[in-house]
Amino acid sequence: MDSSALGAFRNVFPVGDLFRGKGLVAFCWAVAANVVFVALLLTGLLLIGLLHNEGRVYLPSADHDAYNALWNSVPPHSSDNTDGDEPADAEAKPAETQPAALPSQQDDQGLRAVAWDLRSRWWGPAVIELTRSWSGFESTGMSLLFLVVTGLVLGFVHAVLMAQVTRTSGVIANKIVHQLRESLHRQALRMGTSDMLNSQHEQVRKLFTTDAEAVRNGVVQWIQQVSLQSGRLVALLIVLLGIDWRLTFECAVPVGVCLMIVNQMRRGLLKAQRLGIDRADAELGLVFEGLQSSRLIHGYQIDEFERQRFLKHLSRYDGQLGYVALRANQYSWAARTLAAGCSAFVIALVAFRLLAPASSPDHLSLAESAIIIGSLFFAWRAVNRMVATHDGAVAANTAADHIYRFLNTIPEVSQAVGAKFIQPIQRFLHFDDITYRIGQRVVLNKLNLKVPATGSTAIVAFDPFEVRILTSLLPRFIEPASGRILFDEQDIAWATLESLRTETLLVDEDIAQITGTVLENISLGNPKYSLTQITEAAKQVHAHNFIQKLPQGYETVIGQHGETLDAGQRFRLALARAILRDPALLIIREPTGEISEDDKSLIDDACRRLMRDRCTVLLPSRLPTLKSADRIVLLNKGRVEVIGTHEVLVQNSAIYRHWEYLHFNEFRHEVSAAGS
């Protein structure tokens, strides 16, 4: 596998990790599994050999002594003369007139018969020593039972070892993905404050799920296949070389050439498929283009022209999909044909050795022939799995690259070197020549605003997005392209984020609730707040009574998987959270959902309590709140249009009266509906 092409995947799981820690454990399990696999092959060889010769040995007279010497047994007797009686005149008969000695058949020799057939192999003495270890190997029935039981046990052990490889590789992959997801969570929190278009959520969700799972699958496949299949190839090569090294090389050449051709064809197929799918997507865009031009088509009465155009691009789209399917079918047939031809050639080579005379050094027994063919099949499958592992690693590398690109993105907001704790605002809040852009759009255009730190300031705009941007600058969720924001004489860009956000809090119904208990929602898990402090804060914002009525009071779980609160209740929880922290600058965005009249009065009283003796920025959604503000700032096209109280602006500012009409006049919806 090309390491340079898989840089991101190598960062996720370096090759060295395969030989340390859990990676080394998985590698050892894989080695053990391959050792057991070789033992299974050898057991299969002995079993096939035993079934083939049925425990019989055919011994020419010249081999009797050699056979006896192997097992130190009594000289066997010919099955043609079981009593061993020779005619009395046999010795008197001249040697040249005696008939040639016929092979004697020894029945029920068990594994000895197989060991005798394999005695010329370099590993044959090991099989002979095995037959000497237990007298039961002299019996064909006992030998058969032993081999079957051994095969079953080895198969079970092999399955257990494979499961351990899978489990350990899964543990490693899960740990890696868990760390990646932790990093994604931290980075998403850092980046999320500046995501004013809410475009990051889906990206992070895809990275967290689809891409992280692709990385996990790639790591699992990599560990399993590299540690397992590479070792299996080595083990199979040892088995093949042990049986017949010349035949192994004769078979390896066509198999290797076939694999190279099939792999090259597969790469060509993937390239053709990508090209075909891209062209199909382009044609699909043209197919649906007419749906976006229905007014043009009907206005100029070109329905037939559009129909012909649609059919032309639809035919091309179908043609591209057909081309992709045709190439896949061609590859499938070509690969199968090559595999069949290669298999036939290999079987022919093995068959020639099988049919060679028994006295020939090239002769192979049926058992050896079967093991050679089986080993080549397993080697072919191991190579194919390693190729599939490469494809999985490429997909995992792409996913890991997406993740690292996001993790390496520099957040818009960061703490300045040498930042200091900011002092609570005392005299004024100053926006000094602030400009903010999103892409090519200028949201705030050299905005200047200076308001006293006492009392409440309501900020409104024809475009609510401008207000959202302006207030998000105060806790430095985002950074201006140019300009400064001052708390008194202190530039907040040089304040520590911790101190700035301690003194600047946003109260918003939309971000007021997390899934957890009411207690956790108010304290946000901060252990320094006691239950007494929390309940006192809830009482000040008139939330204590409705909390007490919940099923478990302050221990009631609310949120996505708990009790549901209405807009007024959520907002009062947010107020309790803010009053508990006692910030110097408070930004209050009023809820826009349906609120009862009783809740409105409770919220108004809670807000008055909370705004007392602190700088408050209001983002009102109700006219009474707007009228109660000490001053109103109207933004228009990224700049401050007018400042004043509601009464003064209604009398003196036509643009404010227009804004008020658009937002609070009781006939605005009817006019809007008529205009649409």
pLDDT digits (tens, 9 = 90+) for 271-324: 888 888 888 888 888 777 777 777 777 777 788 888 888 888 888 888 888 888
d(CA 42, CA 558): 64
Q: Looking at residues 106-118, what average pLDDT do you find?
A: 83
Q: Would you say residue 428 has pLDDT above 60?
A: yes
Amino acid at 616: T
Q: Which helix or strand (DSSP H or E) is residue 576 part of?
A: helix 567-581
Does the predicted TM-score (pTM) go above 0.85? Answer: no
In tens, the pLDDT along 170-195 reads 999 999 999 999 999 999 888 888 88
The CA-CA-CA angle for residues 329, 334, 340, to 5°, reads: 125
Residue 64 CA, distance from chain mean position: 67
Q: Would you say residue 91 has pLDDT above 80?
A: no
Q: Looking at residues 481-491, what average pLDDT do you find?
A: 94
- Rounded percentage of the chain residues whose pLDDT exceeds 70: 92
Q: What is the mean pLDDT of the chain?
A: 85
In order of 272, 280, 328, 387, the CA distances from 268 in angstroms are 6, 18, 10, 14
pLDDT band at 473 (very low <50, low <70, confident <90, very high): very high
In order of 83, 142, 451, 566, 593, the CA distances from 623 in angstroms are 124, 98, 21, 21, 15
Q: Which helix or strand (DSSP H or E) is residue 379 part of?
A: helix 366-407
Short-list 50, 67, 71, CA closest to 146: 50
In order of their start, the domains of the chain are 171-407 (1.20.1560.10)
d(CA 506, CA 472): 9
- Rounded percentage of the chain residues whose pLDDT exceeds 90: 38
Q: What is the 3-state secondary structure (H, E, C) of 262-276?
A: HHHHHHHHHHHHHHH
In order of 397, 431, 507, 541, 582, the CA distances from 611 in angstroms are 53, 21, 12, 12, 10
Contacts 24+ apart (CB under 8 A), 660-663: 660/623, 662/462, 663/460
d(CA 433, CA 480): 10
At residue 667, the pLDDT reads: 60
d(CA 405, CA 573): 38
d(CA 496, CA 502): 10
pLDDT band at 471 (very low <50, low <70, confident <90, very high): very high
pLDDT band at 515 (very low <50, low <70, confident <90, very high): confident
Q: Looking at residues 398-426, what average pLDDT do you find?
A: 91
Short-list 436, 435, 476, CA closest to 587: 476
At residue 247, the pLDDT reads: 86
In tens, the pLDDT along 24-65 reads 999 999 999 999 999 999 899 899 988 888 888 877 777 777
d(CA 512, CA 531): 19
Q: Looking at residues 624-630, what average pLDDT do you find?
A: 92
Q: Looking at residues 476-492, what average pLDDT do you find?
A: 94
- Written as six digits, the tokens of 493 are 């860009």
Q: Looking at residues 236-256, what average pLDDT do you find?
A: 86
DSSP summary character for residue 424: P
In tens, the pLDDT along 517-546 reads 999 989 988 899 999 999 999 999 999 999
d(CA 216, CA 604): 52
pLDDT band at 668 (very low <50, low <70, confident <90, very high): low
Least confident among 432-436, 532-536, 568-572? 568-572
Q: Would you say residue 475 has pLDDT above 90?
A: yes
Q: Would you say residue 391 has pLDDT above 70?
A: yes
- 420 forms beta bridges with 495
Q: Would you say residue 96 has pLDDT above 70?
A: no
